[in-house]
Structure 1
Amino acid sequence: MNDALKHALTGLAVALLLAGCGALPDKPARAALYDFGPGSTAPAPAAAASPAPRALPMIALAEVDANSRLDGTQLLYRLGYADANELRPYGQSRWSQPPAQLLRQRLREALSAGHTVLGPEESATIARTAGRLPDTLRVTLEEFSQYFESRERSIGLVRVSATLTRNQPGGDKVLAQRSFMVRKPAPTPDGPGGVKALAAASEVVVAELVAWVDAQ
């Protein structure tokens, strides 16, 4: 084999190798993770002279229930103009935790401003040591999706049901029960816009839940 042929074959092999490398698939894009944000970062206002507020009772906050479709971390949307019954997931946008857990964290934080809030295990400890149980707040997350009214307009839709119960010797007594639904417009018709709308709607739901509990 002469030198010219060797050089030609070597060049062809290098070209094929480079072409093969260029054909390799790109590294999969990493999904963006979202939550409800850091919460209020504004300094607390100075307390004004006023009568002492009434003492609010201790409350037990159960885990927030959700159907199996909302148990995961997918960011879900509905195309109301096409098929509102179909829940669709974004491919590259996810929650850092299931929405029910994010909602419970915010709710516990908000309730703690006026109540001593206990989890299920803490509530059981109080029952053993003090012989009584605090009232229990149970919340079910029923809807948590970005709803597209058109291709360019969407809202964050959050719907929950809440039940406040009291433990009695004969079983739990329902003290109050109510459903809450909040819609907030999305600033952009995409996943990040849906996150902002759902986070804003969740904050309103939490505020309404706390006001309702405090009024009982």
Structure 2
Amino acid sequence: MTNVCSRALLATVLTTTLAGCTVFPAREVPRQFALAEPEVTAKERIARSVILRVDTPVAASPLDTSRIVVRQDSGELAIYGGSRWRQPATDLVRDQLIEALRQSQGFTGVVNEISRSRSDWSLLTDLGQFQVVYENGSPVATVRLDAQLMDERSRSLLSTRRFEARQASTDESLEAVVAAFSRATNQMAKDVVAWILEQPAP
């Protein structure tokens, strides 16, 4: 009985002791950021009879992750510690494009690649840059997208174009950097919308 009581007392002491300290360091929960929604003014036009599919952009590491990337003066890529995008950067850009294209009201429908809907055109893209670049000691959000517009019925390429957008951050805080990314991505999305709407209706 004495041994049982001693073990119970020891367990109580250990529990009380461990409650006041951390044996292993607590893992820091990263801050998550999202882009502001794009703002595209709908044109006064009749929506063309096109269902447009927007595929998720292709990107190499680390742009295919949710890390917030910064390109240093040496050319080396680094990341902002303790923070990340809410989604991988490729998903963020895809969703921005879809929302901007829907806001334009220029199409019968705009869907993503997992939609079971039949599509007439598809937008295929490569995300070449989605990072902060320091210029003269100040951070600049830089986005570059190579786009291909394809006719799904004929499997022919309708048009290709490279889009680039750059927006200087007001300061080096993460909040200001994210706001600069939102402005740059919004500008890029507007340019993509205008380019697609320039294409002859089928």
TM range (shorter): 0.7 to 0.9
User: Residue in 2 aligned with 1:4?
Assistant: none
Hey, what's the Cα distance between the residues in 2 that align with 1:78 and 1:68?
13
Match of 2:97 among 96, 107, 110: 107
Give the superposition deviation at 1:192.
2.7
Give the superposition deviation at 1:73.
0.8
Give the residue type in structure 1 aligned to 2:83. Answer: S
Q: Are 1:53 and 2:14 matched, yes or no? A: no
Number of residue pairs the alignment of both structures matches: 177
SS at match of 1:66: coil
Gaps of 5+ in 2: 1-16
Give the superposition deviation at 1:59.
1.2
Would you identify which runs of 4 or more consecutive aligned residues in structure 1 move more than 6 Å? 21-26
**In the TM superposition, what whole-angstrom CA distance separates every residue of 1:126-174 from its partner, at most 9, and x where no partner exists?**
3xxxxxx5011112111011111233x11000000100011345xx211
TM-score, length basis structure 1: 0.72
Cα separation, partners in 2 of 1:160 and 1:22, compared to 1, 3 Å: same
User: Residue in 1 aligned with 2:87?
Assistant: 97
Q: Are 1:174 and 2:166 matched, yes or no? A: no
Q: Are 1:64 and 2:50 matched, yes or no? A: no
- In the alignment, is the contact (CA less than 8 A) between 2:98 and 2:112 conserved in 1? no
Give the residue type in structure 2 aligned to 1:159. Answer: R
Hey, what's the Cα distance between the residues in 2 that align with 1:155 and 1:91?
18
Give the residue type in structure 1 aligned to 2:30. Answer: A
User: Residue in 1 aligned with 2:29?
Assistant: 30
**In the TM superposition, what whole-angstrom CA distance separates every residue of 1:2-52 from its partner, at most 9, and x where no partner exists?**
xxxxxxxxxxxxxxxx9xx78978644321110103555xxx99x9xx9x6
Gaps of 5+ in 1: 1-17, 127-132
**Aligned-residue identity in percent:** 24
Tell me which structure has the larger Cα radius of gyration.
1
The structure with the greater share of residues assigned to helix is 1
User: Residue in 2 aligned with 1:149?
Assistant: 135
TM-score, length basis structure 2: 0.76
Q: State the Cα RMSD in Å.
A: 2.8
- In the alignment, is the contact (CA less than 8 A) between 1:79 and 1:149 conserved in 2? no
Equivalent positions of 1:1-216 (< 5 A) are 27-38=26-37, 53-56=45-48, 57-80=50-73, 83-84=74-75, 86-113=76-103, 114=105, 115=107, 116-122=109-115, 125-126=117-118, 133-151=119-137, 153-168=138-153, 172-216=155-199
Give the residue type in structure 2 aligned to 1:109. Answer: E
